[in-house]
Structure 1
């Protein structure tokens, strides 16, 4: 009788651990979620004083961060105005920043923004959730005042 109770308790604990393990790994962000977040950021920038908007977008606990999805905002010269994953980038010119494969992804992004108002870009970057360098697809929109607002999805390597 005692062994049945122990076995039942072990099964219950195992089931609980399984549920906890699944809850600890959030679902990956979708392309549609990234596009929606970027549009939300663009609308917020248009409706909010610039300094406040950039600070709010940079806030890692704010409305513009969801799991591994965060927004970045650059001017056309490659200056980071907001970065939801790394506030240390804000105020710096990152035009020569290279990804894990040596690609100057900020320079490429600014070149793409010269001819397109919306676009997707591929590169590799540190996923703030997994802490691994992973392939990333970034959706970007250029605002009428020449800001490039982006948010992306990571794909496991």
Structure 2
């Protein structure tokens, strides 16, 4: 069989397989570091705009993996789920189990500067509240983070 023809047949299957892969902890941590590097190179405002832009460079896996940025008081400065979340203080937000996950995020940021924390959150792919873990890292007094759903 002609190699080009075979390649043309296999390419769509390969693309679908890659698109279906789930986000990994390493990819999540890397995305946070990439967002911080972008902010360092382009400034906070440019980073906030790009992070909040749906479908932008900080959105992966069909929007399931995205970056968020909070200040140390729990106010959202940028959010991968869109501009409606920006400007809202989420310090007292609780997950379905009553976990004050933003408060936990801020405590982690203030005590360790980076790390992972667990909670539940609505998955934008299916609308279900699912177990999630997020990696956060402090840069310039701000909390940059991204999370993945636990399967």
If the TM-score is normalised by the length of the shorter chain, which range does it land in?
Answer: 0.7 to 0.9
1:71 matched to 2:64? The reply is no
**In structure 1, what is the equivalent of residue 143 of structure 2?**
148
Which of 1 and 2 has greater Rg? 1
**In structure 2, what is the equivalent of residue 125 of structure 1?**
121
- Give the match's secondary structure for 1:134: strand
**In structure 1, what is the equivalent of residue 91 of structure 2?**
95
Report how far residue 130 of structure 1 moved.
Answer: 2.3
Q: Within 2, Cα distance between the matches of 1:126 and 1:36? A: 22
Given that 2:53 and 2:82 are in contact with CA atoms closer than 8 Å, whether structure 1 keeps it comes out as no
Report how far residue 92 of structure 1 moved.
Answer: 1.0
CA RMSD of superposed structures (Å):
1.7
Task: Report the count of equivalent residues.
Answer: 135
Runs of 4+ in 1 over 4 A off after TM superposition: none
Mean Cα displacement is larger for which, 120-129 or 81-90? 81-90
TM-score (norm 1): 0.80
- Give the match's secondary structure for 2:70: strand
1:38-70 Cα offsets, whole Å, 9 max, x none, are: 100111111112222101001111000001110
Matching of residues 42-121 of structure 1 within 5 Å? 42-67=36-61, 68-121=64-117
